[in-house]
Amino acid sequence: MATRNTMQSADSRAILPSDEFTVLPAIDLKDGRCVRLQQGRADAVTIYADDPVAMAIYWQTQGATWLHVVDLDGAFQGRPVHMAAIAAIRRALTIRLEVGGGLRTDSDIQSLLDTGVDRVILGTRACENFADLARLVGKFGAHLAVGIDARGGMVQTKGWVNTTAVKAVELAARVAGAGVATIIYTDTATDGMLTGPNYDATRAVCDAAGPAAIIASGGIASAADIAHYHALRISNLRGAIVGKALYEARVTLAELRQAAAT
């Protein structure tokens, strides 16, 4: 596949989030399998499927228009681990795909984009080397997103192992100011807990991020949670990532998509 390194193309503009509220099923990869972690803890893992490609195809057949994939081993090790599995997922799908986890170098980003991934997500690198972010935006454009993972309002890095002294709202403002089009915001205290999202924290990040589109993650347990997000009418809140509630059949993707549309 041809290298994608020019971000002024119609292709890059086309992947910007629409005005619709999008529900993104999540696939978290660990040891080659689809898992979910509770609050990001590597010692609190539940295995849901042995075949990530089959799982990705399933979500596409259920009506997903975007899929959110995280290389958990990559996030913990600081380098991509599941590149081959992600490339196989990309080949199997016609819907759009965003991927994060362990992307510390330009070549890591480019390698994913060369597989056909639509959007790559930087986390630790964006926080620890913020000065380089504007250059990355210039190079990768709308194919680049930043993941802001926070607990108690403070940013976490390295697979949520390290809690920094950086406030999530401050990082969101700086990231948006650097020209990043999309921010994935995760409240790690609610992630995998099925207790409902942290709406106040999400709103604060949305307010701080200005023009950047926000995709929220963490805590979603039901269609009512998506309906609540939708009812907030926050102009730059463009979607939500859902994992455990779908895998444990608390709700269907069709129900979540319906809640996002009404």
Q: Which residues are catalytic?
A: 28, 149
125, 197, 119: which is closest to 155 by C-alpha?
A: 125
Rg for the chain (alpha carbons), in Å?
16
| Separation CA 81–CA 112 (nearest Å) | 12
What's the CA gap between 121 and 217, in Å, rounded? 14
CA–CA gap between residue 195 and residue 90 (Å, rounded): 32
Nearest Cα neighbor of 95 from 116, 70, 72, 122 is: 116
Helix (H, G, I), strand (E, B) or coil at 203: helix
Euclidean distance between CA atoms 130 and 127, whole angstroms: 6
Pick from 33, 31, 59: nearest CA to 252: 59
CA gap 140, 135 in Å, rounded:
9
Spatial separation of the C-alpha atoms in residues 70 and 33, rounded to whole Å: 11
CA distance 133 to 88: 29
- Residue 159: which region, alpha, beta or left (left: phi > 0; alpha: psi -120 to 50)? left
